[in-house]
Amino acid sequence: MNSVAEAPVEVAEASPKPTLVLPDSQLFPVISDRNLMDRETGEPVMLIDGIIEEGTLTMVSGTWGAGKTALLLSIAIAAKQGKPLAGQFAVSRASSVLFVGLDASPYQYAKQYRRLDAGLEAGAAGVDFLDSRAVDIANEANAARLKRTIERASYDLVVFDTLNALSSYAENDNTEMGKVMRWLGSLCTKRRTVVFTHHTGKPGIGDSKRDRYASRGASAIPASCDAEWRVEL
């Protein structure tokens, strides 16, 4: 039997995809003080007058049971309808809204929403709810998927209840919570606003009920926010 030598098969290496490298002047532009002042002449646009500026990251903090979630749902309804919050804080425009509820069951959120919906006579305002509690942005793939979901729908306002339920990172670790806050900040654009709830720390021995306690956990949390509102009983 004559043996036939097989010719070696050559596998062509895939050519690497070209990487776009911006020049330093585009990546880190520098402008003069005069140009800065000439450009930034308009007043900030308030999504909700006196409370939430458009395109910012805002924290709503408070103790358990203070009404943070109810306030967050009220903000979502007001923003969606473009109607004043609590009948007195003007809303700049009707916005598309996503509510990411991670701190309670869907039943509990629906129960609170029905009450607000009836009390405000909102008539099913049209707020979207993320129908999943399987969110952990400590998982980079999950974080990327959720961000794509938000960006593809072009939501104007995204609200998270609560910060602690958003990831499995250690709440007191500045490095880990810094990652969470940078992810939240990356969602903000000129027209997209992000609001989240967070718990305040427990009072120490000798503290009175009137004392205002700081938000719980790492200092990176409040330091990364553009504004913080405290809800008190």
CATH number at 190 reads 3.40.50.300
In a domain, 188, yes or no: yes
Residue type, 96: S
pTM over 0.85: no
Return all residues near 192 (Cβ < 8 A) that are at least 6 apart. 55, 150, 155, 156, 157, 158
Number of domains the chain contains: 1
Does 21 or 126 have the greater pLDDT score? 126
Reported as a pLDDT band with limits 50, 70 and 90, residue 27 is confident
In a domain, 189, yes or no: yes
In a domain, 163, yes or no: yes
Distance between CA 93 and CA 8 in Å, rounded?
Answer: 67
Q: Is the pLDDT of residue 164 over 70?
A: yes
Structure token digits, residue 105: 């069951």
DSSP H helical ranges for 120-216: 140-153, 174-187
In a domain, 13, yes or no: no
Query: What is the bridge-based pairing of β-strands 46-48 and 52-53?
Result: antiparallel
Handedness of CA 105, 106, 107, 112 (dihedral sign): positive
Does 206 or 38 have the greater pLDDT score? 38
In a domain, 72, yes or no: yes
In a domain, 79, yes or no: yes
Reported as a pLDDT band with limits 50, 70 and 90, residue 61 is very high
Radius of gyration of the chain (CA): 23
The average confidence (pLDDT) of the chain is: 88
In a domain, 212, yes or no: no
Instruction: For residue 124, give the nearest of 76, 166, 158, 85 by alpha carbon.
Output: 76
Cβ–Cβ < 8 Å for 227, 50 = no
Mean pLDDT within 222-230: 96
Instruction: For residue 113, give the nearest of 78, 86, 74 by alpha carbon.
Output: 74
In a domain, 143, yes or no: no
Residue 96: give the domain boundaries: 44-133+154-169+180-198+223-233
Cβ–Cβ < 8 Å for 42, 173 = no
